[in-house]
Structure formats: C-alpha cells, structure tokens
Amino acid sequence: MGQQPAFGRRRSAGATVVSSTENVDPALPLTYLENVSKLDIITLPDRKLRARSAPVERVDDEVRRFLDDMLETMYEAPGIGLAAVQVGLPRRMVTIDVAKREDENADPNPLFLINPEILWRSDERAVHEEGCLSIPEYYAEVERPASVRVRYLDRDGNLQEIEADSILAVCLQHEIDHLDGILFIDHLSKLKRDMVIKKFTKQAKIAGKPAPL
C-alpha cells in the first residue's frame, strides 16, 4: 500500500532499481531472485498484478531473504505495505509496517506475513483513503470492514494470529487482496476504476510499454 500524500516522501530522483523482475516466470524457484536486494515494483496496467498468488510451501532462508528484500523495497518506495506479486513474484507473501504512518519518528515495526488468511471481518465498516505502490500518485477513499482477524505464518514459519483495526486493518485487507489479483480500485465505482485504468494505460503507451490491461 502506498504512503498517503500527507506523509508522502516521494521516490527521490536518484533512486535506481538494480534489478528488474519483469520477466520472472512464476514457475521459477525463488533462488532465481537470490541476489536481488532492491526489487522493481510493477505498476498498472501490468497484467501480472491480476495473477492469483500461489501459497508458499516452506518458510526457508530463500523465503526470508526475499521478504527482507521486499521490506527494503517497500521502505525505499516509500510504502506501508507490499505484496510479492507487486515485485513480479506471485507467491502469498506480504510485508507491512504502519509504525511511521502514526508517528514519523517511530521505530520500524515490520510485519512479515506468509500465506495470510482473513478469518473474521467486522460488520462495522470504515472509510479510509488508500493508495498503492502499483498505482502511483492515485488516492481514493475505500470502504472496508473496520476490523479483521488474520492468520499467517511469520518470518520463522510460526503460525500467528493478529486482530487489527484502523490503518493496519486497511493495510492487511489491501495487501491480501493483491494475493488474489484484486486492486483497491476494484472497490471503487466502475466509472472511477475505468478512468484510472485508462489513465495508466495511456501513460504506459506514451512510455512505450506494451500489454495494456
């Protein structure tokens, strides 16, 4: 999930991406990405964002290394949540850190979620402004359940449960949506969604990128 404008430190002009994951085949083992430290975030209208991510079968050092690279990429962007599919790897892995969202001087408080599952959603709903690192510079209000309970494997492969409300609940739902190929714009009206997709498709064409959504 992208950082909102009020907290926005934009990607600096000097930021460089050292490796592209654009052509990663989902069938490739994670070792393919072994030496990547900073990952390339894919954006609309890249069709890979619509892929349904496969479960992680074993939490090993390769998975941990990849999660660390995801976290670094997320901090650098900067964002408060990132799903592996956003860096081109359709596996059910998410990194989240909402600490700085509350207080800019807060210490990092990263959350690594492997195979996360929403066990419970509150009937109460809440509206928050959302953004997405894969839909840069676009923000919109989205209504979702106000609280959720999520089960996941942590970075050590231990089963955990977390109950969250506020921005963490928003972020968890936003990132878990990514694992099923769902973007936050899918929660908006068709008119708004079509406008955003059209805008990004046009920009991609100007930039010479093929394969519109």
Catalytic annotation, residues: 175
42 touches Zn ion by CB under 5 A = no
The Cβ of residue 53 has, within 10 Å, a number of other Cβ atoms equal to 21
Instruction: Transcribe 130-188 into DSSP letters.
Output: EEETTEEEEEEEEEEES-EEEEEE-TTS-EEEEEE-HHHHHHHHHHHHHHTT--GGGGS
Cβ proximity to Zn ion: between 132 and 146 the closer is 132
- In this chain, which residue has its C-beta nearest to Zn ion? 132
Least distance from Zn ion to the Cβ atom of residue 173, Å = 11
Cβ proximity to Zn ion: between 87 and 204 the closer is 87
Cβ proximity to Zn ion: between 87 and 153 the closer is 87
CA distance 81 to 59: 20
Cβ proximity to Zn ion: between 1 and 204 the closer is 1
Least distance from Zn ion to the Cβ atom of residue 88, Å = 14
- Out of 67, 114, 132, 188, the only residue in the binding site for Zn ion (CB under 5 A) is 132
Residues 166-185 that bind Zn ion (CB under 5 A): none
Q: Count the residues in the chain.
A: 213
The Cβ of residue 137 has, within 10 Å, a number of other Cβ atoms equal to 10
Q: Which stretch binds Zn ion (CB under 5 A): 30-38, 111-119, 124-132, 186-194?
A: 124-132
Per the CB < 8 A criterion, the answer to whether 145 and 124 are in contact is: yes
Number of residues that bind Zn ion (CB under 5 A): 2
Point out which residues bind Zn ion (CB under 5 A). 1, 132
